[in-house]
Structure 1
Protein backbone atom coordinates (compact mmCIF):
# COMPACT_ATOMS: atom_id res chain seq x y z
CA UNK A 1 0.00 0.00 0.00
CA UNK A 2 1.48 3.35 -1.01
CA UNK A 3 2.03 6.23 1.38
CA UNK A 4 -0.73 8.21 -0.33
CA UNK A 5 -3.19 5.31 0.03
CA UNK A 6 -2.39 4.95 3.74
CA UNK A 7 -2.88 8.70 4.25
CA UNK A 8 -6.22 8.66 2.42
CA UNK A 9 -7.34 5.59 4.40
CA UNK A 10 -6.44 7.29 7.70
CA UNK A 11 -8.25 10.49 6.66
CA UNK A 12 -11.30 8.44 5.63
CA UNK A 13 -11.36 6.63 8.98
CA UNK A 14 -11.16 9.89 10.96
CA UNK A 15 -13.90 11.43 8.77
CA UNK A 16 -16.16 8.38 9.20
CA UNK A 17 -15.67 8.31 12.97
CA UNK A 18 -16.36 12.04 13.19
CA UNK A 19 -19.58 11.74 11.20
CA UNK A 20 -20.78 8.64 13.06
CA UNK A 21 -19.86 9.76 16.58
CA UNK A 22 -22.97 11.91 17.21
CA UNK A 23 -25.12 8.86 16.47
CA UNK A 24 -23.20 6.27 18.49
CA UNK A 25 -21.96 8.16 21.53
CA UNK A 26 -23.96 9.62 24.39
CA UNK A 27 -23.73 13.38 24.91
CA UNK A 28 -20.79 14.44 27.03
CA UNK A 29 -21.99 15.24 30.53
CA UNK A 30 -19.37 17.95 30.86
CA UNK A 31 -19.84 19.56 27.44
CA UNK A 32 -20.79 22.83 29.12
CA UNK A 33 -18.60 22.28 32.19
CA UNK A 34 -15.80 24.72 32.88
CA UNK A 35 -13.09 22.15 33.73
CA UNK A 36 -10.69 20.32 31.39
CA UNK A 37 -9.22 17.34 33.23
CA UNK A 38 -7.82 14.29 31.49
CA UNK A 39 -5.07 11.78 30.91
CA UNK A 40 -3.95 9.48 28.10
CA UNK A 41 -1.62 6.55 27.70
CA UNK A 42 0.48 7.27 24.62
CA UNK A 43 2.86 5.63 22.20
CA UNK A 44 4.82 6.80 19.19
CA UNK A 45 8.24 8.19 18.51
CA UNK A 46 10.43 10.61 16.66
CA UNK A 47 9.87 10.38 12.91
CA UNK A 48 12.93 12.48 12.00
CA UNK A 49 16.57 11.99 13.04
CA UNK A 50 17.03 10.72 15.66
CA UNK A 51 14.39 8.04 15.12
CA UNK A 52 12.94 6.44 18.21
CA UNK A 53 10.07 4.52 19.74
CA UNK A 54 8.61 5.71 23.04
CA UNK A 55 5.61 5.50 25.31
CA UNK A 56 4.26 7.28 28.33
CA UNK A 57 1.49 9.42 29.74
CA UNK A 58 -0.11 12.80 28.96
CA UNK A 59 -1.98 14.89 31.53
CA UNK A 60 -4.34 17.80 30.77
CA UNK A 61 -5.67 20.49 33.11
CA UNK A 62 -7.44 23.71 32.18
CA UNK A 63 -10.70 25.54 31.61
CA UNK A 64 -13.44 25.63 29.02
CA UNK A 65 -14.88 29.17 29.22
CA UNK A 66 -17.42 28.50 26.44
CA UNK A 67 -18.47 25.16 24.88
CA UNK A 68 -16.49 25.83 21.68
CA UNK A 69 -13.13 26.86 23.25
CA UNK A 70 -10.75 25.29 25.79
CA UNK A 71 -7.51 26.58 27.28
CA UNK A 72 -5.37 24.01 29.05
CA UNK A 73 -1.89 22.82 29.94
CA UNK A 74 -0.88 19.46 28.51
CA UNK A 75 2.21 17.63 29.70
CA UNK A 76 3.57 14.53 27.93
CA UNK A 77 6.12 12.38 29.77
CA UNK A 78 7.61 9.82 27.37
CA UNK A 79 10.50 7.38 27.63
CA UNK A 80 11.88 5.04 25.01
CA UNK A 81 14.89 4.09 22.93
CA UNK A 82 16.55 5.15 19.71
CA UNK A 83 15.77 2.79 16.85
CA UNK A 84 18.35 3.80 14.22
CA UNK A 85 21.93 4.98 13.93
CA UNK A 86 25.05 4.29 15.96
CA UNK A 87 23.25 4.87 19.27
CA UNK A 88 20.37 2.46 18.48
CA UNK A 89 19.00 1.05 21.72
CA UNK A 90 20.10 4.03 23.83
CA UNK A 91 17.49 5.16 26.34
CA UNK A 92 15.98 8.60 25.90
CA UNK A 93 13.16 10.60 27.40
CA UNK A 94 11.21 13.78 26.79
CA UNK A 95 8.87 15.99 28.75
CA UNK A 96 6.71 18.23 26.56
CA UNK A 97 4.84 20.99 28.45
CA UNK A 98 2.37 22.83 26.24
CA UNK A 99 -0.10 25.70 26.70
CA UNK A 100 -2.95 24.59 24.41
CA UNK A 101 -5.79 26.53 22.81
CA UNK A 102 -8.46 24.13 21.58
CA UNK A 103 -11.68 24.30 19.58
CA UNK A 104 -14.48 21.73 19.74
CA UNK A 105 -16.80 20.67 16.93
CA UNK A 106 -19.05 18.01 18.45
CA UNK A 107 -16.77 15.03 19.17
CA UNK A 108 -13.85 16.53 17.21
CA UNK A 109 -11.24 18.54 19.15
CA UNK A 110 -8.39 20.49 17.50
CA UNK A 111 -5.69 22.25 19.55
CA UNK A 112 -2.37 24.00 19.07
CA UNK A 113 0.13 25.63 21.38
CA UNK A 114 3.73 26.53 22.19
CA UNK A 115 5.78 24.19 24.32
CA UNK A 116 8.72 24.23 26.70
CA UNK A 117 10.42 20.86 26.29
CA UNK A 118 12.97 18.97 28.35
CA UNK A 119 14.93 16.08 26.84
CA UNK A 120 17.59 13.70 28.09
CA UNK A 121 19.59 10.77 26.76
CA UNK A 122 21.39 10.06 23.49
CA UNK A 123 23.88 12.87 24.07
CA UNK A 124 26.44 11.64 21.53
CA UNK A 125 24.34 11.51 18.35
CA UNK A 126 23.70 14.64 16.31
CA UNK A 127 20.18 15.92 16.83
CA UNK A 128 20.05 14.64 20.41
CA UNK A 129 20.16 16.70 23.56
CA UNK A 130 20.94 15.97 27.16
CA UNK A 131 19.11 17.99 29.79
CA UNK A 132 18.45 21.06 27.66
CA UNK A 133 15.31 23.20 27.71
CA UNK A 134 13.96 23.57 24.18
CA UNK A 135 11.16 25.35 22.33
CA UNK A 136 8.49 23.27 20.63
CA UNK A 137 4.94 23.32 19.30
CA UNK A 138 2.16 20.79 19.75
CA UNK A 139 -0.73 20.12 17.39
CA UNK A 140 -3.48 17.84 18.67
CA UNK A 141 -6.46 16.11 17.07
CA UNK A 142 -8.80 14.15 19.33
CA UNK A 143 -12.11 12.36 19.04
CA UNK A 144 -14.28 12.28 22.18
CA UNK A 145 -16.71 9.41 22.65
CA UNK A 146 -18.31 10.37 25.95
CA UNK A 147 -15.34 10.57 28.30
CA UNK A 148 -13.23 8.18 26.18
CA UNK A 149 -10.66 9.99 24.00
CA UNK A 150 -8.66 8.90 20.93
CA UNK A 151 -5.90 11.41 20.17
CA UNK A 152 -2.90 12.12 17.97
CA UNK A 153 -0.24 14.75 18.65
CA UNK A 154 2.47 16.03 16.34
CA UNK A 155 5.24 17.80 18.20
CA UNK A 156 8.15 19.56 16.47
CA UNK A 157 11.00 20.63 18.79
CA UNK A 158 13.77 23.00 17.76
CA UNK A 159 17.27 21.75 18.61
CA UNK A 160 19.84 24.35 17.55
CA UNK A 161 19.30 24.60 13.76
CA UNK A 162 17.43 21.29 13.46
CA UNK A 163 13.82 20.30 14.02
CA UNK A 164 13.03 16.96 15.67
CA UNK A 165 9.43 15.84 15.07
CA UNK A 166 7.61 13.56 17.50
CA UNK A 167 4.34 11.83 16.66
CA UNK A 168 2.26 10.07 19.35
CA UNK A 169 -1.18 8.51 19.51
CA UNK A 170 -3.17 8.11 22.70
CA UNK A 171 -6.13 6.46 24.39
CA UNK A 172 -7.50 8.19 27.44
CA UNK A 173 -10.21 9.77 29.54
CA UNK A 174 -11.30 13.39 29.83
CA UNK A 175 -14.06 15.44 31.42
Structure 2
Protein backbone atom coordinates (compact mmCIF):
# COMPACT_ATOMS: atom_id res chain seq x y z
CA UNK A 1 0.00 0.00 0.00
CA UNK A 2 1.43 3.39 -0.95
CA UNK A 3 1.70 6.19 1.56
CA UNK A 4 1.65 9.86 0.57
CA UNK A 5 2.70 12.62 2.96
CA UNK A 6 1.97 16.32 2.60
CA UNK A 7 4.66 18.33 4.34
CA UNK A 8 3.82 21.91 5.27
CA UNK A 9 6.71 24.08 6.51
CA UNK A 10 5.64 27.31 8.21
CA UNK A 11 8.95 28.62 9.55
CA UNK A 12 10.24 31.78 7.93
CA UNK A 13 13.75 30.36 8.47
CA UNK A 14 15.34 27.61 6.41
CA UNK A 15 18.71 27.46 8.14
CA UNK A 16 18.50 26.65 11.84
CA UNK A 17 14.76 26.01 11.92
CA UNK A 18 13.92 23.55 14.69
CA UNK A 19 10.48 22.80 13.26
CA UNK A 20 12.00 21.96 9.86
CA UNK A 21 14.53 19.65 11.55
CA UNK A 22 11.71 17.88 13.36
CA UNK A 23 9.77 17.50 10.10
CA UNK A 24 12.85 16.00 8.42
CA UNK A 25 13.02 13.36 11.15
CA UNK A 26 9.29 12.66 11.01
CA UNK A 27 9.36 12.26 7.22
CA UNK A 28 12.30 9.87 7.53
CA UNK A 29 10.41 7.83 10.14
CA UNK A 30 7.25 7.65 8.03
CA UNK A 31 9.11 6.19 5.05
CA UNK A 32 6.55 7.59 2.61
CA UNK A 33 6.36 6.61 -1.04
CA UNK A 34 5.57 10.20 -2.04
CA UNK A 35 6.15 13.49 -0.24
CA UNK A 36 4.35 16.61 -1.44
CA UNK A 37 6.11 19.69 -0.06
CA UNK A 38 4.51 23.08 0.51
CA UNK A 39 6.93 25.66 1.92
CA UNK A 40 5.02 28.60 3.35
CA UNK A 41 8.18 30.73 3.48
CA UNK A 42 7.13 31.30 -0.13
CA UNK A 43 4.07 33.28 0.84
CA UNK A 44 0.51 32.08 0.44
CA UNK A 45 -1.62 35.18 -0.08
CA UNK A 46 -4.10 36.22 2.56
CA UNK A 47 -7.74 35.96 1.56
CA UNK A 48 -9.37 39.24 0.59
CA UNK A 49 -12.80 40.55 -0.43
CA UNK A 50 -12.43 39.29 -4.02
CA UNK A 51 -11.48 35.81 -2.75
CA UNK A 52 -14.50 35.75 -0.43
CA UNK A 53 -16.84 36.84 -3.21
CA UNK A 54 -15.42 34.16 -5.53
CA UNK A 55 -15.72 31.50 -2.83
CA UNK A 56 -19.35 32.39 -2.07
CA UNK A 57 -20.34 32.47 -5.74
CA UNK A 58 -21.76 29.11 -6.87
CA UNK A 59 -19.12 27.28 -8.91
CA UNK A 60 -21.23 27.27 -12.10
CA UNK A 61 -21.66 31.05 -11.86
CA UNK A 62 -18.01 32.00 -11.28
CA UNK A 63 -16.24 34.24 -13.75
CA UNK A 64 -12.82 33.32 -15.11
CA UNK A 65 -11.32 35.89 -12.73
CA UNK A 66 -13.07 34.26 -9.78
CA UNK A 67 -11.87 30.80 -10.80
CA UNK A 68 -8.35 32.20 -11.03
CA UNK A 69 -8.72 33.81 -7.60
CA UNK A 70 -9.57 30.39 -6.10
CA UNK A 71 -7.02 28.38 -8.12
CA UNK A 72 -4.33 28.32 -5.43
CA UNK A 73 -6.89 27.41 -2.76
CA UNK A 74 -8.07 24.49 -4.90
CA UNK A 75 -4.47 23.35 -5.44
CA UNK A 76 -3.77 23.47 -1.68
CA UNK A 77 -6.91 21.45 -0.99
CA UNK A 78 -5.98 18.92 -3.69
CA UNK A 79 -2.62 18.47 -1.94
CA UNK A 80 -4.43 17.57 1.29
CA UNK A 81 -6.82 15.23 -0.51
CA UNK A 82 -3.87 13.41 -2.13
CA UNK A 83 -2.16 12.82 1.23
CA UNK A 84 -2.64 10.06 3.76
CA UNK A 85 -0.65 11.97 6.39
CA UNK A 86 -0.06 15.68 6.87
CA UNK A 87 3.17 16.76 8.56
CA UNK A 88 2.80 20.38 9.62
CA UNK A 89 6.05 21.89 10.85
CA UNK A 90 5.60 25.19 12.63
CA UNK A 91 7.28 27.44 15.12
CA UNK A 92 5.27 29.33 17.69
CA UNK A 93 5.57 33.03 16.90
CA UNK A 94 4.25 35.33 19.60
CA UNK A 95 2.22 32.54 21.24
CA UNK A 96 0.47 31.39 18.06
CA UNK A 97 1.02 30.16 14.50
CA UNK A 98 2.95 32.20 11.94
CA UNK A 99 0.87 34.41 9.66
CA UNK A 100 1.89 32.23 6.70
CA UNK A 101 0.30 29.16 8.31
CA UNK A 102 -2.86 31.12 9.14
CA UNK A 103 -3.03 32.22 5.47
CA UNK A 104 -2.75 28.53 4.39
CA UNK A 105 -5.54 27.59 6.82
CA UNK A 106 -7.78 30.36 5.47
CA UNK A 107 -7.16 29.10 1.93
CA UNK A 108 -8.03 25.46 2.73
CA UNK A 109 -11.03 25.91 5.06
CA UNK A 110 -13.82 26.08 2.47
CA UNK A 111 -17.47 25.27 3.14
CA UNK A 112 -18.75 22.47 0.95
CA UNK A 113 -15.23 21.33 0.06
CA UNK A 114 -13.28 20.66 3.27
CA UNK A 115 -16.16 21.05 5.73
CA UNK A 116 -19.92 21.46 5.66
CA UNK A 117 -22.48 22.91 8.01
CA UNK A 118 -25.12 20.49 9.30
CA UNK A 119 -27.95 20.75 11.80
CA UNK A 120 -25.47 19.31 14.32
CA UNK A 121 -22.78 21.88 13.55
CA UNK A 122 -19.77 21.77 11.21
CA UNK A 123 -18.59 18.42 9.84
CA UNK A 124 -15.16 17.90 8.34
CA UNK A 125 -15.03 16.31 4.90
CA UNK A 126 -11.39 15.16 4.81
CA UNK A 127 -11.75 12.14 7.07
CA UNK A 128 -9.44 9.14 7.26
CA UNK A 129 -6.21 11.11 7.35
CA UNK A 130 -3.58 11.63 10.00
CA UNK A 131 -1.80 14.83 11.01
CA UNK A 132 1.53 15.05 12.80
CA UNK A 133 2.36 18.54 13.98
CA UNK A 134 6.03 19.33 14.57
CA UNK A 135 6.06 22.40 16.75
CA UNK A 136 9.00 24.39 18.09
CA UNK A 137 9.17 27.31 20.49
CA UNK A 138 11.73 29.37 22.29
CA UNK A 139 9.83 29.95 25.51
CA UNK A 140 6.22 28.87 25.13
CA UNK A 141 5.38 25.48 26.61
CA UNK A 142 3.11 23.50 24.29
CA UNK A 143 -0.22 22.91 26.00
CA UNK A 144 0.21 25.77 28.46
CA UNK A 145 -2.21 28.66 28.97
CA UNK A 146 -0.07 30.88 26.71
CA UNK A 147 0.08 28.37 23.83
CA UNK A 148 -2.50 29.49 21.28
CA UNK A 149 -0.96 27.39 18.49
CA UNK A 150 -1.34 23.69 19.33
CA UNK A 151 -5.00 23.77 20.39
CA UNK A 152 -5.87 25.90 17.39
CA UNK A 153 -4.11 23.53 14.97
CA UNK A 154 -5.78 20.48 16.52
CA UNK A 155 -9.16 22.23 16.24
CA UNK A 156 -8.59 23.20 12.59
CA UNK A 157 -7.57 19.65 11.69
CA UNK A 158 -10.73 18.31 13.34
CA UNK A 159 -12.80 21.02 11.68
CA UNK A 160 -11.77 19.70 8.25
CA UNK A 161 -12.22 16.06 9.34
CA UNK A 162 -8.73 15.02 10.51
CA UNK A 163 -9.13 13.77 14.07
CA UNK A 164 -5.97 11.64 14.32
CA UNK A 165 -3.59 14.43 15.39
CA UNK A 166 -0.25 13.91 17.12
CA UNK A 167 2.33 16.43 18.27
CA UNK A 168 6.11 16.27 18.30
CA UNK A 169 7.22 19.31 20.25
CA UNK A 170 10.59 20.91 20.84
CA UNK A 171 9.23 23.64 23.08
CA UNK A 172 10.93 26.01 25.49
CA UNK A 173 14.21 25.64 23.61
CA UNK A 174 15.55 28.86 25.14
CA UNK A 175 14.74 27.61 28.64
CA UNK A 176 16.32 24.14 28.46
CA UNK A 177 17.33 23.01 24.97
CA UNK A 178 18.63 19.61 26.11
CA UNK A 179 15.37 18.71 27.88
CA UNK A 180 13.37 20.02 24.94
CA UNK A 181 15.28 17.89 22.45
CA UNK A 182 14.99 14.82 24.71
CA UNK A 183 11.22 15.27 24.89
CA UNK A 184 10.99 15.64 21.10
CA UNK A 185 13.15 12.52 20.65
CA UNK A 186 10.78 10.54 22.89
CA UNK A 187 7.75 11.75 20.94
CA UNK A 188 9.45 10.80 17.66
CA UNK A 189 10.22 7.32 18.98
CA UNK A 190 6.57 6.89 19.96
CA UNK A 191 5.33 7.70 16.44
CA UNK A 192 4.05 4.75 14.47
CA UNK A 193 5.27 4.62 10.90
Instruction: Name whichever structure is richer in helix by fraction.
Output: 2
TM-score, normalization: structure 2?
Answer: 0.24
Instruction: Name whichever structure is richer in strand by fraction.
Output: 1
TM-score, normalization: structure 1?
Answer: 0.26
